[in-house]
Amino acid sequence: MIAEITHQGRTWRIALDKPIDLSIPLDAASPGPRAWHVGPARFTPVRDGERSYAVQDGAPVNFRDVQFNPHGHGTHTESVGHIDLAVHPVGNLLKRYWFTAQLVSVLPEERRTADGPARVITLGQLRDAVGGRAPEAFVIRTWPNGPEKRTRVWTGTDPPFIEAGACAWLRSIGVKHLLLDLPSVDRERDEGRLAAHHAFWDHPRSTDLNRTITEMIYVPDTVHDGEYLLELQLPHFINDAAPSRPVLYAPVP
């Protein structure tokens, strides 16, 4: 099924029946992905005394409580409320859900920092990757890109991160939505500075409700770098973050 979408003076032809789902399922039976010291997600039947609301236990329906942390369990999208005093619900944020997007792949550079050796996505790497027209959404796939990213427990592994100057530059060229396959744009242990978050949202100088950050996506190796349309799906959570389902659509002739 081919659809034509005109946006920013350009007409895109995309195959609606060929979505590229970047989200990782929230699966209580999987070890991950998870980060920030959270335990596994839990899906547990509601109990009423001795009765368990699960069909396998004789109930007429499955009726489960779900316990998870939006930041710690799988693919999620966050607003500036992540670092602001106010919540700024991410579920209220978007006025539309389709955006021009560019996918780039980078191998984080080995750097010596004041906090020790680190693997960093640099300004130079991102500047070299951006084409002539800045996209609304910028999607970063890091190498190596093994399928274990889909189940990885990131806690205590000091994952790669984006340098603050790179996030400031993405903001300066008009990127509204930043997506990456890591648990955070910032270093796991940075004494609470969260410099990349602050740079992308220009916080606290402004309270930017037009930009989002989506973390812990997964981009299969079969997906090529380049231009796409992004559909960013997320539930109406009144919280600074929510599980999300970013989906790419490649242009077709």
| pLDDT tens digits, one per residue of 129-160 | 987 788 999 999 999 999 999 999 999 999 99
- The whole domain housing 24 covers 2-33+70-249
The enclosing domain of 221 has a CATH number of 3.50.30.50
Q: What is the pLDDT of residue 87?
A: 93
Q: What is the pLDDT of residue 132?
A: 72
| pLDDT tens digits, one per residue of 172-230 | 999 999 999 999 999 999 988 999 999 999 999 999 999 999 999 999 999 999 999 99
Q: What is the pLDDT of residue 60?
A: 96
φ, ψ of residue 123 in degrees (nearest 5): -60, -45
Domain count of the fold of the chain: 1
Q: What is the pLDDT of residue 116?
A: 83
Q: What is the pLDDT of residue 98?
A: 95
CA 69, CA 145: separation in Å to the nearest integer?
24
Tell me the three state secondary structure of residue 147.
helix
Could you tell me if residue 39 is inside a domain? no
Assess whether pLDDT exceeds 80 at residue 115.
Answer: no
Could you tell me if residue 44 is inside a domain? no
| pLDDT tens digits, one per residue of 33-84 | 999 999 999 999 999 998 999 999 999 999 999 999 999 999 999 999 999 9
Summarize the confidence of residues 111-130 as an average pLDDT. 91
Number of neighbours of residue 56 by Cβ within 10 angstroms: 8
CB within 8 A of 31, min separation 6: which ones? 40, 151, 153
Environment class of 217 (CB within 10 Å of its CB; exposed 0-12, middle 13-18, buried 19+): buried
Q: What is the pLDDT of residue 10?
A: 87
CA 214, CA 53: separation in Å to the nearest integer?
34
Could you tell me if residue 54 is inside a domain? no
Q: What is the pLDDT of residue 127?
A: 94
Q: What is the pLDDT of residue 122?
A: 97
Cis peptide before 19 (omega within 30 of 0): no
